[in-house]
Structure formats: C-alpha cells, structure tokens
A and B are shown apart, each in its own frame.
Chain A
Amino acid sequence: MKNQNEVVPDVPKRIHPSLSKACGQVKVPKNLQEDSNAWADLILSKTALIVASAIILVALYNLATLHADISKKDGLDTLTFDIASNIDSVGSSPSGTAYAVKDYSFDAYSGLLTPEDYKKLNISVTGEYVACTFQDNGRNINSARSLSYRTLPFSPAELENLLTIEFAANGTVVYPISSLFPYTDVTEFLAVASAKESHLNIDEKVHIKKRSIFVTDASEVRELEYILVYQ
C-alpha cells in the first residue's frame, strides 16, 4: 500500500522526437505535448498500415483479374490470327489451284476459351479486317486483324447478283464488266459493299475462295482478284 505522504519523483515526460521537433516550430497544445501515451502515433501508423495493406490487396486482385483478361485476349487473338491467316493463305495461292479454295472450321479453337465464352463469340469479317469479340462481365474483349488481300464477305452467287444489278454483267470471263482503267467504278463499288460486317456462325464451316472479277475496256480483258469469305 502506498503512503499518501510519499513523494513521487518528478519523472521527465518523454515526448516523441518528431513531436518535440515539431514543437519547436509549431505551437502544439500543451495537453498533446505532455501526453506520453503515443496514441496519435499508434493510430497514424496503424491507419497507414491498413491503407497500405488495402492498396496492396486491391493491386493483387487487379493483377489476377488482368491476368485472366490477358489469357482470354490471347485466346481471342489466336483465333483471329488463324482466321486471317487462312484467308491470306488463300489469297497468296495461284488462282485455279486447289489451294485457292479452303473450308475453315472453328472446332479446333473451342479449347482456348471457356465453353461459355465460346458460345458468346461474335466473329465478323469485312473487306478490311477480321474481328472477334465477346462480352465478359459486362466488358467487351476485342481482337482484330487486318487482311493482306482484298476480301469480300459475299458468296459467289451474292457477288454475281451485286455486280449484275450494278453493272449489268456478273464479272465472269463470259460476261466481263465494261470498265475503263483504272477500274475505279468497280473497285470503289466493291470497297463500299464490303465495308459492311458479315457475322460468321461458329457452328458452320467458313468457305474461303479466290475469285477473279473480269473487266474489259473493249480492247482487252483484265482480271481483278478478290477473296470471298462466306458460309
């Protein structure tokens, strides 16, 4: 039991070095100067720790999400690249050979994406590019690749119908289109017509075929080469 009359030695109050330094420049309330419990120090350091931990956790979560997105994007890129390569390989083959006709199937690429993603795939072809896209948690994941050769997303019958309506000739060697060099009327008409996206059904084969459109200026017949992509 303590004696009431006992003199308690005057213990010097310890102040944190940073606080004491600050005291020299800023007027700090006296109760804070004399408070040696360091509650402010503890609260500040723990708050900083909590904030830093939260930032690291959010960054790790985003990194994991990003990795999943990148994996899906890679799968989509591979599929897009493969379709475009098949179209280009037909384009680089000599006309009239067996290599100038190809049937493409999507089955081989179903494993790159989850079955759910695969069902949501939206693949389109225009005269300039192949694009694949699907929605993942409300976000669009896209992949596109430009084509090396002039491409038309039409079947041979559709192409002949279009040409017949516009030029009164179907562009075959028997009925060449009358056009003067540099055949701008034909090429520009086809460029505009092929700008519209043609969506491909992944359950069906894609037919890729090299097709020549014959034009004549009354003295000689020339052929314009195009790749047809259709189902």
Chain B
Amino acid sequence: MNISSFTSDERALLEPNNDIMTTALVVVGFVVFASILSNTYFAFSDNSKALENYEQAVMIAADIASYPPLQGSRPGIICAKALDNIANPLIEPQEHYLFFQRFSPNIEFYVEASTDDGSHQWTIEQRPYSCEGRNVIAASVPVVIELGSNARCVTGTITVKIIYQRWK
C-alpha cells in the first residue's frame, strides 16, 4: 500500500467523521486504562490479604511451638508424647479441647507436625475440614522434637494451615 494513496486522496470519506473516531479512540483508551487500573488494584488487594493471612498463620505457628503443654524436657523442645496426646482426642480429650479453646472459633485451621526425615507425622485438627473450593494459607516454624523416652531429639517443623473462603 502506497502512502501517496492517502495523501493524494481528496475524496474526504473519513474527514467528516474525524471527531467521532477520535472520541471512540479516547473511549477505548479510557476503558483499557480503567481496566488495567482496577486489575492492578484487585491484585494488590488480594496480595495484601494473602500477606495478612500469612502473618496470622506465622503467629499461630509460633504460638503453638511455645505452647506449654507441648514442651518437652527443656523449654523450646516439643515433646512427641504430648503431640501424640493432643493429636488424638480420644486419648486426652481435655488437652485437645484446651489446645483449640484459646483460638477464635471463626478461624478454621489445623496443625501438622513432622520430623524432617519424615519418620513421624502428626495432624492436630479440631474437626475434619474440607479445602475444596477454598484457599489455604500455610506457615511453618522449625522446631526440635523430642522422640520417645530415650530423649532422642530430631529437627522438624510445625505447620499451621488456615483455610479461607476463596477470594473473589
């Protein structure tokens, strides 16, 4: 296509509608701008909420790692026997109840504790939760777990998983 076909074309087919086309371009540009702006805001808002929820999960994980009934022979060491008791409400229903009693009933979360070698795992949950169609925020803290009566200590993690309604 030759540019002279435009410069030498004097039929002026487009000229009477220049203002309409310009306005249409402005409208399209504005719509695109508003769309980008709103998408950026919603992405920022979602990330902020995710960060808030992560901080909440970290706080609960740290709290559980220092929960007095879970402490072993020395402070800062988690007792595997205590984890056994709390993870199984049939063994120690009161310990299991008091473990979750401190937290608001509005928060749905469960706790997973495991040794780093994967040989021991515990799941502490108030009731079975369904994660289908929901978001899960997880935070872990490293701990030392005291296994058995021989006071064998291994490294492990305590993970708190908070379940939220999916963000929309």
A37 within 8 A of B: no
B117 within 8 A of A: no
Given A48-B20, A49-B19, A63-B34, decide whether A56 and B27 contact each other with a Cβ distance below 8 A.
Answer: yes
Name which of A3-11, A108-116, A147-155, A195-203 contacts chain B: A147-155
Given A59-B34, A187-B101, A222-B98, decide whether A94 and B23 contact each other with a Cβ distance below 8 A.
Answer: no
Q: Which of B27, B55, B94, B104 contacts A149 (CB 8 A)?
A: B104
Decide if B23 touches A52 in the complex (CB within 8 Å): yes
Decide if B17 touches A45 in the complex (CB within 8 Å): yes
Q: Give the size category of A's interface with B.
A: 20 to 34
Q: Which of A52, A88, A146, A187 contacts B59 (CB 8 A)?
A: A88
Task: Count B interface residues, CB 8 Å.
Answer: 32
Q: Which of A49, A92, A129 contacts B62 (CB 8 A)?
A: A92
Residues of chain B within 8 A of A150, CB atoms compared? 101-105
Decide if A146 touches B104 in the complex (CB within 8 Å): yes
B66 within 8 A of A: yes
A-B contact pairs, 13 of them (CB 8 A): A45-B19, A49-B19, A49-B20, A53-B23, A56-B26, A94-B68, A128-B104, A146-B107, A148-B59, A151-B104, A182-B93, A224-B101, A225-B101
Chain B residues at the A interface, C-beta cutoff of 8 Å: 16-17, 19-20, 23-24, 26-27, 30, 34, 37, 41, 52, 55-56, 59-60, 62-63, 66, 68, 93-94, 97-98, 101-107
